[in-house]
Amino acid sequence: MRAARLIRMVLLLQARPSMTAAELARELEVSERTVARDVLSLSEAGVPVYADRGRAGGYRLIGGYRTRLTGLGRSEAEALFLSGVPSALREMGLADAASAARLKVSAALLPELRDAAKGAAQRFHLDAPAWYQEPETPALLPGIADAVWDDRRITARYLRKDTEVERELEPYGLVLKAGVWYLAARTQGDYRVYRVDRFTAVAPAGSGNASGAGDADDSDQAGGRFARDVSFDLPEFWAQRAAQFARSILREEVVLRLSPRGVRQLPYVTERAAAREAIERAQSADGLDEHGRLTVTLAVESAEVAYAQLLTLGPEGDILAPPELRERFASAARRMAALYAEGNGAGTGPDGGGPDGGGPDRGGPDGSGP
C-alpha cells in the first residue's frame, strides 16, 4: 500500500510543476505529516524531490527527473476507457485503477498537454441517475464486475417477483441505465438481462455456496472461466433487448382526445416513443375534429399505469375508451371539482379555474392556449 502511494506521489509530481503538501495529502488521502515522511523516503531512495519553502512553496521534482513507471496495466487500461463515468467506476470498485491510469497517462504526456484530462473533465460530464431518484449502489456489483472482467462463471441467487431462484451465469457485460445496473449474461445457451439490485447472493460457479458477500475471487479454483462468444456485441444486444422490453410492457390501449396543448404534453407524461407513434399515426389519419382536438390510440402498460400517467394531463386529455377508465377519470374530476368548490370560495371565479375561468389560456373547451 505504501509503495503504491509513493509511486502515485512521484507520478503526481511528474505530471505537475509543483504541489503543496495539502494538495498531495488531498490527492493521496493521507495527512500532511504522512506526505512529509513519504517525501523523505523518496529522497533517501534517490528520487530528487525538492521542497520550496515559503508561502508559495511546495514539492517538485528537479533535474528533469522522469520515472519509467508509466506502463499501463490491464485493469488500469480497461478502467481508463470508463474514466468519463466516475460514478460507475466507484460503484464497480475501479476508482483507484482509473486514478492510477490517468496519472500514468499524464506523466507520459508532453508538459503542454498535461491539462488535457482536466480540460475534458470540465467540459463533459455524465450524470447517470434519473431526476428525483437517490442512486443506490448494489452491494454485489463489485464482485459481479470482477467476474465480467475476467470471464468467470458465477452462481447467483436472484429475486424473480416473490420467488428466489438460483442460476449459473456467464456474465458478459454490465449496463448502467438511468442509475440502474443490469447484467447481460448467458445461461443454458440463452442471453438474458438481470437487474443487479435483485441479486441476493453471488459466488464462483462450482463452489456450491452462493453468498451475499459478492466475493468471486476464487473462481479459477471453483468453476473457472468460460469461453466468450467473440460475436457478442453488448451495445447491439442491449439496444435490441431494450426495444423488445419497451414493446412488451405496452400490452393495453387507451383512446383519448387531446387538445393542442395535450398533444404537446403527452410525450412527457407517458412512454415517449409510444406517445409519438400514437400522435403521428392519428395525424396521418387526419384525426383532428372541428375544435382542433386529436383523437389518438395510445399503447400503455396497464389501465392502472395509464390512470396515474394521463391524470396529469388534466382537462387537456379526454379519455374515450376503455369505458371503465373513462368513468374512473370522471369520478376523479367530480371529486376534484367538489374539493375546489369548498373552503370559503377558494378556487372559484375567473382566477380560480371555475365556470368563468376556462378559455384558451386556462385549458377550457376551446383548447389549450399558446
User: pLDDT tens digit string along 78-116?
Assistant: 555 555 566 666 666 766 766 776 666 666 655 655 555
Contact 225, 152 (CB under 8 A): yes
User: pLDDT tens digit string along 307-353?
Assistant: 999 999 999 999 999 999 999 999 999 999 988 886 545 544 444 44
* Grid cell in block for residue 355: 365556470
Q: Percentage of residues in the chain with pLDDT exceeding 70?
A: 69
For the chain, where are the alpha helices, taking DSSP H only?
Answer: 2-15, 21-28, 32-44, 74-80, 86-92, 95-108, 116-121, 141-150, 234-249, 260-269, 272-284, 303-310, 323-341
What is the spatial distance between Cα 257 and Cα 286, in angstroms, rounded to a whole number? 13
Q: Percentage of residues in the chain with pLDDT exceeding 90?
A: 31
Lowest mean pLDDT, pick from 173-187, 239-253, 271-285, 333-347: 333-347
pLDDT value of residue 118: 56
What is the spatial distance between Cα 193 and Cα 174, in angstroms, rounded to a whole number? 9
pLDDT value of residue 105: 64
pLDDT value of residue 330: 94
What is the spatial distance between Cα 319 and Cα 326, in angstroms, rounded to a whole number? 5
Lowest mean pLDDT, pick from 59-63, 280-284, 350-354: 350-354
Higher pLDDT, 35 or 245: 35
- pTM higher than 0.95: no
User: pLDDT tens digit string along 223-266?
Assistant: 488 998 989 999 899 988 888 887 778 889 999 999 999 999 99
Q: Where is mean pLDDT largest: 163-167, 204-208, 285-289?
A: 163-167
Identify the band that residue 125 occupies on the pLDDT scale cut at 50, 70 and 90: low
Nearest to 167 by CA among 142, 139, 200, 213: 200
pLDDT value of residue 217: 43
DSSP string, 214-273: ---TTTTTTT-B----TT--HHHHHHHHHHHHHHHH--EEEEEEE-HHHHHHHHHHS-HH
Identity at 86, one-letter amino acid code: P
Does the pLDDT at position 123 exceed 80? no
Does the pLDDT at position 211 exceed 70? no
Identify the band that residue 119 occupies on the pLDDT scale cut at 50, 70 and 90: low
Average pLDDT of the chain to the nearest whole number: 77
pLDDT value of residue 115: 58
Please measure the distance between the N-terminal and C-terminal CA atoms of the chain and give it in whole angstroms.
64
Does the pLDDT at position 192 exceed 60? yes
